[in-house]
Amino acid sequence: MLERLTRPLHFSSLLLIGILCLGSTIAFAQSVTVTHLTIESRENPLGLDVRQPRFGWVLATDERDVVQTAYHILVASSAEKLANGEGDLWDSGKVASAQSGQVPYAGRPLESRMPCHVKVKVWTNRGETTWSAPAHWTMGLLYYKDWRGRWIGFDHPFPWDSIATIPSLSARYFRKEFQPKKEVASATAYIMGLGLYELYLNGQKIGDQVLAPTPTDYTENVKYNTFDVTEAVVSGDNAIGVTLGNGRYFTMRQNYKPYKIKNFGFPKLLLQLELTYTDGSTEVIKTDGSWKGTADGPIRNNNEYDGEFYDARKEMPGWNRAGFDDRAWLAAEYVQEPRGDFEAQLNPNMKVMDSLKPVSLRPLAGNRYVLDLGQNMVGWLKMRVEGTRGDTVHLRFAESLQDNGDLFVANLRDARATDTYVLKGGGEEVWEPSFTYHGFRYVEISGYPGTPSVDDFVGQFVYDDIATTGTFESSDPLLNQLFRNAWWGIAGNYKGMPVDCPQRNERQPWLGDRAIGAYGESFLFDNQLVYAKWLDDIRLSQRADGALPDVAPAFWRYYSDNMTWPGTLILVAQMLYRQYGDRAAIAENYPAMKQWLAYMQERYMTEAFIVTKDSYGDWCVPPVSIEAGRGKSADQKHPSALISTAYYYHFMQLMTDFAHLLGEEKDAAAFQALGGQIKEAFNREFYHPDRGYYDEGQLTSNLLPLAFGLVPEANCEQVFDEIVKTIEVEHQGHLSSGLIGTQWLMRGLTENGRPDLAYQLATNTTYPSWGYMVEHGATTIWELWNGNTAAPSMNSQNHVMLLGDLLIWYYEHLAGIKSDDEAVAFRKIIMNPYFPDDLRYVNASYQSVQGLIRSHWQKSKNRLTWDITIPANTSARVYLPTDEVKNIKVGNAPLNQVPAVRVVGTENGKTVLDVASGHYQFTIRNPR
Ligand code: RAM
């Protein structure tokens, strides 16, 4: 029998009351602190163009049961004012609220360039905190008139450039000298360098970003970066230098399928450097016709697919410093503007996030060597070399080797993936490229003077500068390896947008690949800003008629009209709201979603409510056997009205929720009504009552209706039995789903009562499975289930789309870390792990927006211990695998003696608890 506990007053609560009576709360100031104060989810961002930035913070404490009851935010125009408690921009006053994220600024209007300083304090049931450490931000340039310079560049090729099918342009270099007129108090640089820039001031590279700015459809929007360069400016002569690479502006392929590839033009630059003098006056140094430029520097060509050619003999020592003789340089030309709106970049730029020491270097015939990084990765090689002027080193990149030890490059298609370095001679030279990246594990080195050693090279791992938020470890090495492979694959494919593959001539932000993947990824990476930016890309790529593309930014112009790829706009918005509480992701994109759904309905929904149009079917379903898949990319399309109709229905459900959230009640009713009609039609059209399955009974055909709630209650068991039969009998314990089905598979099996079957799929090592990839040497995730036998033309070895919902399952169902849909962004956490028989422990953590969540369970004989951490200002519903309360201990105490824990009841043989924030160790005797 379960007792309902009334929560006795905690000791410190009593103390609190005592102290409150004395009129002082100071004793509690230290027990809870406000940490990690962010502005628009960033720390101290510069150059924001959000007029009402949102604040977030995390409460740090060792105490249990801490709940925020109020907050107070101060925003000041100077650090001094803030320190004096003067909120001249905004003083929120004490606001009774538990909200600790997404709190919008509501003070004086913010204007261009304003410096803003902020601090927060909160009240909790433990008292009042001290003020947080101050944070700050600056406003960017909010109006076009703030931009004083003009776009400069060269809108034409040079004799050494080629703009043919395989285009190659040299980098463009621009420079400008200036002298501050007075003593400089501060200096800020705003830059739009397209496609990619490197910025120097007096020879010093500004910032640690690489391959900046973040890519966009430049005809829609162009991102500028802001830097505080006060320290780099000197009195007297100064020089600004900017190098421009092609990036995606001068597109990687020009005439190759011209109907589908969008080109923007030649590289160009708009920059301004604003000096504020100590007397308060200002001066702006801006791009104009007084700048000098050359295309005849060391970077002879650069291309994301093909690599970079660097001739060190062409270096121009001192070009980015004052005093350089630039008489031979050309006058910068005024050029065609990119057309897109100017926007401050909020998502982080890429950075060299890690450096890898190669594991081996082996000689090949013909004075060649092959270097093994030990890990399929994305980035480039940094090299040290010494030789004679004119010696030429070629670095060719590939993901794997052929049997004879040579690189396997067939799967790169026509991407040359080669960097070339020509030595200037005269001593040690250290080089790495600026405007390309490769997807590789192996590098073939040829032309290297002397004998190279592994110590002459380092692999530079490049991806968006975002934090890893999740850890996962278990007693099963395969599960751990899969997790690592997923981490490497996801990280390397974050390129200011999620791309599909980093090695071949594609690298496109395909929508369908991340529809649910983004959600799983959010446990491993703080991916909020890159996905919020991606939703902007998708929305901006919407055609006037409402169509959404399959790739966004639409560098490849595919508007093939289907439900699954474009629908990612809806699913990723849902993810951002669920995982981060980002309501704006829904609000800002809602009109685009609605317009797209109406567009699809109008064109492709029959009068009988069936959506007929699909493009990719259940993309990349595994061929029935590995042999059957030999030489096949498994890329046959099986367009399916079942998939389109099921997704249309699912989107009606999500849109109903979104409409309620936004107060669009009329819309909500309409979505719901249409959903009801589709549901009926769907069952009429696709369900076979005599056979008890949908369509032809394929795994995905039964899984989608079940996952989306399309199956009438009475048929659910039968449909699920069919799913189990398909997996267990027809496919001997293997999955048979492609990109679509796999997004719902692991949760579908678990939530319908067969977590053991999900576990079996996760730990399979025979074909087709994720474990099969690992067994065959994968250190990332393959594009195809049959990646080791398929034709090379579409066979990336670093492609995350087949992860489906595997990572969600790791966290929500193995670790038991899931946000409650009713209290999003982990305000309430559902901790209901499955404890597989074969698994001894899982130790996972997740840095949520509320703070660190941990779950570490471990089995020993007749006992399960489970350590959990629930961040302050959240609570958890915890499911323990016993229905005997007396078998449960918290630390050393019986359950009913722990004030922060309340028994709610039992469910499926598990004891259900409501647990307040804090650390706990549960011990369960004789777990089920
Ligand atoms: C290929 C890629 C990509 C997929 C599209 C449909 O180019 O595999 O990941 O989304 O096809």
pLDDT tens sequence across 745-783: 999 999 999 999 999 999 999 999 999 999 999 999 999
Q: Is the dihedral of CA 638, 482, 775, 474 positive or negative?
A: negative
Alpha helices in 57-173 (DSSP H): 79-83
- C-alpha 543/C-alpha 171 separation (Å) is 33
- Ligand 1 atom with the shortest distance to the CA of 510: 10
- Ligand 1 atom with the shortest distance to the CA of 799: 9
Q: Which two tokens stand for residue 9?
A: 């007053």
pLDDT tens, residue by residue, 264-288:
999 999 999 999 999 999 999 999 9
404 CB-near residues (< 8 Å, 6+ apart): none
Distance 391 CA to ligand 1 centre (A): 40
Distance 682 CA to ligand 1 centre (A): 28
CA-nearest residue for atom 1, ligand 1, is: 794
When pLDDT is averaged across residues 899-915 and rounded to a whole number, the result is: 97
Q: Which two tokens stand for residue 309?
A: 């050619």
Distance 174 CA to ligand 1 centre (A): 38
When pLDDT is averaged across residues 629-645 and rounded to a whole number, the result is: 86
What distance, in Å, lies between the first and last C-alpha atoms of the chain? Answer: 17
Predicted pLDDT at 258:
67
Distance 193 CA to ligand 1 centre (A): 29
Predicted pLDDT at 6:
32
For residue 17, pLDDT over 50 is answered with no
pLDDT band at 3 (very low <50, low <70, confident <90, very high): very low
Determine contact, residues 124/873, Cβ cutoff 8 Å: yes
- C-alpha 797/C-alpha 502 separation (Å) is 9
DSSP 332: P
- Ligand 1 atom with the shortest distance to the CA of 635: 11
Q: Which of 177, 521, 783, 812 is catalytic?
A: 783
pLDDT band at 634 (very low <50, low <70, confident <90, very high): confident
Q: What is the CATH number of domain 818-925?
A: 2.60.420.10
Q: Which two tokens stand for residue 128?
A: 């009042």
How many residues in the chain? Answer: 928
For residue 29, pLDDT over 80 is answered with no
Predicted pLDDT at 635:
64
- C-alpha 507/C-alpha 415 separation (Å) is 11
- Ligand 1 atom with the shortest distance to the CA of 513: 10
- Ligand 1 atom with the shortest distance to the CA of 506: 7
For residue 20, pLDDT over 60 is answered with no
Please count the CA atoms within 13 angstroms of the CA of 506 that sit on its side-chain side: 23
- Ligand 1 atom with the shortest distance to the CA of 783: 8
CA-nearest residue for atom 9, ligand 1, is: 500
- C-alpha 767/C-alpha 166 separation (Å) is 38
Distance 272 CA to ligand 1 centre (A): 40
Residue 107's closest CA among 128, 91, 127? 91
36 CB-near residues (< 8 Å, 6+ apart): 43, 56, 57, 58
Residue 789's closest CA among 623, 638, 618? 623
Residue in 506, 507, 565, 795 to alter for ligand 1 test, most ligand atoms within 8 A of Cβ: 506
Q: Which two tokens stand for residue 713?
A: 């209650």
pLDDT tens, residue by residue, 595-622:
999 999 999 999 999 999 999 999 999 9
Q: Which two tokens stand for residue 406?
A: 């040579």
Residue 844's closest CA among 483, 473, 519? 473
For residue 9, pLDDT over 50 is answered with no
> How many C-beta atoms surround the C-beta of residue 388 within 10 A?
10
Q: Which two tokens stand for residue 369?
A: 């060597």
When pLDDT is averaged across residues 327-341 and rounded to a whole number, the result is: 98
pLDDT tens, residue by residue, 75-114:
999 999 999 999 999 999 999 999 999 999 999 999 999 9
When pLDDT is averaged across residues 824-840 and rounded to a whole number, the result is: 98
Determine contact, residues 332/149, Cβ cutoff 8 Å: no
Q: Pocket around ligand 1: residues whose beta carbon is below 6 Å from it?
A: 500, 506, 510, 512-513, 616, 619, 783, 801
**Average pLDDT, rounded, for the chain:** 95
CATH 2.60.120.260 region(s) of the chain?
A: 147-297+313-347, 352-464
Backbone φ, ψ for residue 272 (5° rounding): -145, 140
- Ligand 1 atom with the shortest distance to the CA of 620: 8
Distance 422 CA to ligand 1 centre (A): 36
- C-alpha 158/C-alpha 170 separation (Å) is 8
Q: What is the CATH number of domain 352-464?
A: 2.60.120.260
Does 783 qualify as catalytic in the annotation? Answer: yes
For residue 912, pLDDT over 80 is answered with yes
Q: Which two tokens stand for residue 105?
A: 């600024």
Instruction: Provide the percentage of residues in the chain whose pLDDT is more than 70.
Output: 96
CA-nearest residue for atom 11, ligand 1, is: 510
Residue in 506, 510, 795 to alter for ligand 1 test, most ligand atoms within 8 A of Cβ: 510
- C-alpha 726/C-alpha 697 separation (Å) is 8
- C-alpha 27/C-alpha 898 separation (Å) is 24
CA-nearest residue for atom 2, ligand 1, is: 500
Distance 395 CA to ligand 1 centre (A): 28
When pLDDT is averaged across residues 204-215 and rounded to a whole number, the result is: 98
pTM of the model: 0.96
CATH 2.60.40.10 region(s) of the chain?
A: 11-138
Please count the CA atoms within 13 angstroms of the CA of 865 that sit on its side-chain side: 9
Distance 620 CA to ligand 1 centre (A): 9
Q: Which CATH class is domain 470-814?
A: mainly alpha
H or E, element range at 915: strand 910-925
Q: Which two tokens stand for residue 599?
A: 């567009």
Please count the CA atoms within 13 angstroms of the CA of 581 that sit on its side-chain side: 22
Q: What is the DSSP string of 824-836?
A: TTTTEEEE-----
pLDDT tens, residue by residue, 508-562:
999 999 999 999 999 999 999 999 999 999 999 999 999 999 999 999 999 999 9
Helix 641-662 with 699-708: angle, nearest 10 deg: 20
Per-residue 3-state assignment (H helix, E strand, C coil) for 761-823:
HHHCCCCCCHHHHHHCCCCCCCCCCCCCCCCHHHCCCCCCHHHCCHHHHHHHHHHCCEECCCC
Distance of CA 570 to the CA centre of its chain: 16
When pLDDT is averaged across residues 182-187 and rounded to a whole number, the result is: 98
Fold of 11-138: Immunoglobulin-like (2.60.40)
Q: Which of 399, 506, 722, 812 is catalytic?
A: 506
Residue 808's closest CA among 393, 483, 395, 349? 483
Residue in 500, 562, 635 to alter for ligand 1 test, most ligand atoms within 8 A of Cβ: 500
Instruction: Provide the percentage of residues in the chain whose pLDDT is more than 90.
Output: 94
> How many C-beta atoms surround the C-beta of residue 925 within 10 A?
13
- C-alpha 505/C-alpha 252 separation (Å) is 8
Predicted pLDDT at 28:
44
CA-nearest residue for atom 10, ligand 1, is: 510
pLDDT band at 351 (very low <50, low <70, confident <90, very high): very high
Residue in 413, 503, 513 to alter for ligand 1 test, most ligand atoms within 8 A of Cβ: 513
Alpha helices in 329-416 (DSSP H): none
Q: Which CATH architecture has domain 147-297+313-347?
A: Sandwich (2.60)
- C-alpha 606/C-alpha 395 separation (Å) is 55
For residue 786, pLDDT over 60 is answered with yes
Angle at 72 between CA 71 and CA 75, to 5 degrees: 140
Backbone φ, ψ for residue 598 (5° rounding): -65, -40
